[in-house]
Structure 1
Amino acid sequence: MKVKDLGIPDSIISHLNSNGIETLYPPQEMAVDAGLMEGRNILVSAPTASGKSLIALLAILSMLKRGGRRAVYLSPLKALAAEKYREFKEIPELIRPSISIGDLNVRDRLLGNVLCMTNERMDLALRRDERWLDDIGLVIADEIHLVGDIHRGPVLEMVLTRLKGRGQIVGLSATISNAKDIGKWLECTLVKSDWRPVKLIEGVFSGREIRWANNKRSKIETSSRGEAVDLALDSVRSGHQSLVFVNTRRGAPSQASKAAVAVRRTLSEADKETLSEASDAILSGNEDTQLIVRLSNLVKDGVAFHHAGLNATCRDIVERYFRSGHIKILAATPTLAAGVNLPARRVVISNITRYDVNEGANMPISVMEYKQFCGRAGRPQYDDIGEAVVVSKNDTYDILGRYIHGEPETIRSQIYAQLDIHMLSLIVSQPGITLQQIDDFFDGTLGGLRHKIVSDHDLKVLHDLKMVETLDNNRYAATKLGELTSKLYIRPNTAHRFLRTIKKSHKKRENTLGFLHAMTESSEFFPKMALLSSQYSAVYEFLAQHRKEMIDELYSYDISRSLLGLYGWINEETEKEISERYKLESGDVHRAVEMSRWLLSCMADLAKYKKARHAQDELESLRVRVINGIRGELVPLVQVRYIGRVRARALYRAGVRSVSDIRGMSLADIQKICNVGLRIAKSIQAGR
């Protein structure tokens, strides 16, 4: 089936043709035949790179053609939503994308006809009953197989259950074994295909050779660098790229370093020049922490690493130069497999087991995760095959049987893990709801498809926390506290603990450490980084120095590296100092700041609800400090546009204490102290 025969605008046909898309892939044609462009609910279960993005685009175009007003594209990760937004921006006409992935306490102006957002942002919109929801004609749920993830699954399950009947639903999924169950739940026609544009060859490396699933064997030149690096180098020497998946952050730069010298020998002069520019970009846009310097040096050699400790700027540079083919080997943690699409000719899986905290031992990874790794093998339009190789010591046959020839695990509902927060949101949205209506709603979830979901226990918990009250005739309604908790998008137990902290906070002295501790210990806070054994003695001294800022008595084992890093950040320690002192990288700091921005706002709103003005004022000030990384005396100065932590401190050293002081300064002084040009100096002087 040709793209030109689909009845879509000529400009979009030309756009697709210019990107090499003229004929539909088999899964795309199957979706069209199943009624995709007639508004039918469709669930597509197919491998990575099998063309699911075009399926989404065709659904959007046909929805708009039928007179629909808005499509919603749901993604599990901010990075994926941003990537999709950029893709839609390139469409020449009809599509006007908007994006909403930021602060959950901020209402975005969603003016486009295609809204790219995270599942959490959509959940919040449903709780708030935002007006634009009435305009939805199409919901596209990407990575729908993550409904089985214990952390992200419940939100996605709740969102899709509430969106059923609001418009066409198109679910996009990796290959899963029980796709029929998902299709039945969402009332979708199932389109299931194992087709991929690049043939996948899977194998196990053991004893200096790869044993492929088709029984062929390939000898590999081995060295002291290790099996994973040898496999990656073998592909690079043949003119291809390799992606090496490792289990730990520490392992990613280690594997890249082992490959660096050998890869550099394969680089052309043009490659070296381009990679030198990439290396400079990494250094110029970041503080020179040990991790950043190491990444910058490795990139010069044509290798890199990718993990959550890197900030977004570094990850973006690495991704860009790997996509362009200049970085030859990329060592990454498993988060990359579930994130942005970075394919390579050969994918090397360095270990099929991973440490499980709950089990206290290394446990085999899931077949689903293995298949996600394999999904990165082979670049469409560049490679004729993709190779996925598992490094093994002696269990070749087990790996062949379980992973290569095995089926992904059954996707199961995880709604039970977060039933309290979602039950509260349901009661908030339907005041006077009966127990039968609550049960009927949860019967319509994926979990309810298999088992009866019992509501009594969670209802009692919500009653005990004063989130829900019973009306006449056994009907239920949310209290003011319940409504606020649901609006803030935090769990009922978290709100309860925050209120307890606020109640115990001191009116006549600062509670900085107490508030930060309550926040970082909440179930919502991430990343949670435990203390290292070498840090306990220093933490003991830290607590002794800051005892007056506590609300509850705290001991060394109560403190996390996340808390220490945030405390250092609001006392104007640099990212380099935080990295060296607390072993927290810039990516960790940025995520902790982003999370704190939201949770401190929630705490301030709860303090306002309790009329605890002293706590509200301190929490609002603390939030500004966390956002900007400043001590308390700089809070008034950073309210002015273009003034951040560095310029605020420079102004303070020059005797400037307030916005009125800034307005009284000469432009020349502002330019000199803040190191800015005339245009920005004028804006600063205006004090807005």
Structure 2
Amino acid sequence: LREGGQVLIFVNTRKSAQTVASSLSEKVVMLLGEGERERLRQVAKRVEGALGEPTRTCKLLAECVRRGVAFHHAGLHADQRKEVEDAFRGNLLKVVCATPTLAAGMNLPARRVVVRDYRRYSEDFGSTLIPVLEIQQMMGRAGRPKYDRYGEAVLIAKSEGEVEVLMEEYVKGEPERLVSKLGTEPALRTHVLACVASGYASTVGDVLGFMEGTFFSHQFEVKTMKGVVERVLDFLEEEGMVRKEGERLLATPFGELVSRLYIDPLSGVLMREGLEGISKGEPTTLGLLHLICRTPDMERLYLGRGEEMEFENLVEERWKEFLVPVPEDPEDFEFFLAEVKTARMLESWVEEVHEERIHEEFGVGAGDIRRMVETASWLLHAAHELARLLKVKKALRPLRKLEERVKYGVKEELLELVQLSGIGRVRARNLWKAGYKRLEDIKRATVEQLASVPTIGPETAKSIKRQVEGREWSGI
């Protein structure tokens, strides 16, 4: 660092990234010039305010940034990750402690790369070695073009005995072979249906012909896929997505819609099952959220130790809200509880629970929430379109409203306000509390009155006034 270089440190967990960054920041701050400190204070301010409601993670990141160090992982908000990346590229940040996600697809080189951890925990296999390809991706970040004559990559061994093992495994070892994932049924479901629905393939032979042009066919014989393709076609036919006329394959309206929505056909089947189970009254928020959390397209939260009882109690209290029967098989029930936990997290989001509490209660970060929110919005839109096709009228309005609520993380009463540019869940709630509940209320208020609302300020007040008066924005 004293020579003007920068360092990337890779560790295996988010917590480690934060701990190491915080520890190093106490020493790195001593190497900063006054000009750098002032610019870092501006970066830290943006990092801390990225969510509108700063969490402990936001404050810790901001404190590290002020000292010339940052941590980077998928739990951070996208805006925070970008601020860190830009500040590192600009040589403002001297050290970034990251999880391996930074190494994948991110052009962020440094003079020296330190790989502290070469193992990671897996739910299925426990502690496992990180693949050679990933370690080499990390090491490949060493050396900044135009700045460094060379780069250094350091892989840390925990003992003398590990040195030779790491040298053979990672330094001299060959990266793993890339293997196509197309041969699995989940991948094939989507592609086979798309082939038929688009008219590209009208027979089994056409589908197999399409497969011949894929990466999979370069690695394996296509005839090995024939049995899998036939099983997938049987599934699509049984579920009413594809029908046969002799040897000809045709997509049904249900199959065409599922393909157009670009969801896994199994997701379409599971959503149809739930939607057709709606009989009395409108479905609840939890019921609809659980419906999309059942699908293979939705990432599910891990059910931690000791959480089973909490969510079993929730299921017992609110079982009438679920659109599908609660499974009796113990293994299926455990998966069901994980789906419920995921749905409950999203319900907390739309009920405007403070992000800090969501982070603590569900073990997710701001980046995790936004990623899952994006997927949930897409699946709720898909469910709405399926409900319209299936003529499940009772689900249409709740799904349409819930899609918007999930997108912004608000209760229904704030949907009008959050349509304004620059107004998120926190600012919208503050406007509501101050008595500005409709766009007409904002139109009647002065800029000074709006600026006095917490988190609004003069610039935002001017912006939303221009929007509601139609000079920048045409209306909702």
Shorter-chain TM-score range? 0.7 to 0.9
Q: Which residue of 1 aligns with 2:356?
A: 576
TM-score by length of 2: 0.86
Q: Distance in 2 between matches of 1:665 and 1:268?
A: 45
Give the stretch that moved more between structures: 400-409 or 545-554.
545-554
Deviates more, 1:408-417 or 1:555-564: 555-564
Does the 8 A contact of 2:50 with 2:77 survive in 1?
no
1:499 aligns with 2:272: yes
Alignment-derived partner of residue 468 in structure 1: 242
Task: Quote the residue 1:683 is aligned against.
Answer: 467
Maintained 8 Å contact 2:283/2:394: no
CA displacement 1:176-212 (0-9 Å, x = unmatched): xxxxxxxxxxxxxxxxxxxxxxxxxxxxxxxxxxxxx
SS of the equivalent of 2:250 reads strand
RMSD: 2.7
**Residue matched to 1:420:** 189
Contact 2:48 2:61 in 1 (8 A): no
User: Displacement, 1:637?
Assistant: 5.3
SS where residue 71 of structure 2 aligns?
A: strand
Q: Tell me, which stretches of 5 or more residues in structure 2 are unaligned?
A: 327-332
Q: Is the 8 A contact 2:7 2:95 kept in 1?
A: yes
User: What are the superposed Cα offsets for residues 206-248 of structure 1, whole Å, 9 maximum, x if unpaired?
Assistant: xxxxxxxxxxxxxxxxxxxxxxxxxxxxxx3554211111111
Q: How does 1:349-360 map to 2 (within 5 A)?
A: 349-358=115-124, 360=125
The answer to whether the Cα contact below 8 Å between 1:431 and 1:476 also exists between their aligned partners in 2 is no
Is residue 2:6 matched to residue 1:241?
yes
Give the direction of change, closer, same or farther, for the CA distance of 1:670–1:684 in structure 2 (3 Å limit): farther
The alpha carbon displacement at 1:612 in A equals 0.6
Query: Alignment length, in residue pairs?
Result: 447
Alignment deviations for residues 482-537 of structure 1 (CA, whole Å, 9 cap, x no partner): 111111001111100000011112441432112111212322123x3223335455
Amino acid at match of 1:611: K
Per the alignment, residue 459 of structure 1 pairs with: 233
Q: 2:449 matched to which residue of 1?
A: 672
| Deviation (angstroms), 1:647 | 5.6
Question: Does 2:369 correspond to 1:589?
Answer: yes
Report the secondary structure of 1:354's partner residue.
strand
The structure whose residues are more often strand, as a share, is 1
Post-superposition offset of 1:679: 6.0
Three-state SS of the structure 2 residue aligned to 1:413 is coil
Taking the TM superposition and a 5 Å limit, the aligned residue runs for 1:600-679 are 600-635=380-415, 638=418, 644-646=424-426, 648-649=428-429, 662-663=439-440, 667-668=444-445, 672=449, 677=461
Matched residue, 2:330: none
1:425-481 deviation digits (Å, cap 9, x = unpaired): 111122661222221221221212231221212111111121111113x11111111
Task: Quickly say closer, same or farther: Cα 1:326–1:639, change in 2 above 3 A.
Answer: closer
Pairing 1:143-154 to 2, within 5 Å after superposition = none
Structure 1 position 677, deviation (Å): 3.7
Contact in 1 for aligned 2:195/2:201 (Cα 8 Å): no
Identity of aligned residues (%): 34
The yes-or-no answer on 1:336 pairing with 2:105 is no
Counterpart in 1 of 2:323?
Answer: 551
Is 2:32 the partner of 1:267?
Answer: yes
Alignment check: 8 A CA contact 1:345 1:378 kept: yes
For 1:391, the aligned partner's letter is I
Deviation at 1:406, TM superposition (A): 2.1
Post-superposition CA distance 1:310-352 (Å, at most 9, x none): 0011111111111111211111111111132110111111122
Structure 1 SS opposite 2:296: coil
TM-score normalised to structure 1 length: 0.60
The code of the aligned residue for 1:288 comes to P
Higher normalized helix content (fraction of residues) = 2
Q: Look up the equivalent residue of 1:367 and give its one-letter code.
A: V
Check whether the contact 2:283–2:398 (CA below 8 A) recurs between aligned residues: yes
Structure 1 range deviating more: 329-338 or 548-557: 548-557
1:446 to 215, 221, 235: 215
Query: How many Å separate the matches in 1 of 2:407 and 2:374?
Result: 8
Equivalent position of 2:329 in the other structure: none
Q: Which amino acid aligns with 1:569?
A: W
What is the identity, as a one-letter code, of the residue corresponding to 1:570?
V
Q: Check if 1:300 corresponds to 2:66.
A: yes
What is the one-letter code of the residue matched to 1:475?
Answer: R
Please, which runs of 5 or more residues in structure 1 have no aligned partner? 1-235
> Structure 1's 572 and 646: CA in aligned 2 closer, same or farther, altered over 3 A?
same
Deviations 1:530-579 (A, max 9, x none): 23335455545544554453323557834455333211111112223322
The answer to whether the 8 Å contact 1:256/1:304 transfers is yes
> CA offsets per residue over residues 12-46 of structure 1, 9 Å max, x none?
xxxxxxxxxxxxxxxxxxxxxxxxxxxxxxxxxxx
Is the CA contact (8 Å cut-off) linking 1:434 and 1:475 kept in structure 2? yes
Q: Summarize the Cα distance change of 1:685–1:532 in structure 2 as closer, same or farther, 3 Å threshold.
A: farther
Which residue type is aligned with residue 155 of structure 2? V
Partner SS, residue 630 of structure 1? coil
Match among 248, 254, 279 for residue 481 of structure 1 = 254
1:199-348 equivalence runs, <5 A: 236-286=1-51, 287-348=53-114
Distance, in Å, in 1 between the alignment partners of 2:46 and 2:434 is 32
Whether the aligned pair in 1 keeps the contact of 2:418 and 2:425 (CA below 8 Å) is yes
Measured against aligned partners, the alpha-carbon deviations of 1:622-649 in whole angstroms (never above 9, x if no partner) come to 1011112122344455556666545654
- Kept in 1, the 8 Å contact 2:442–2:465? The answer is no
The amino acid of 1:451's aligned partner reads E
User: Which amino acid letter does the alignment assign opposite residue 668 of structure 1?
Assistant: A
Q: Would you say the 8 A contact 1:511–1:551 is kept in 2?
A: no
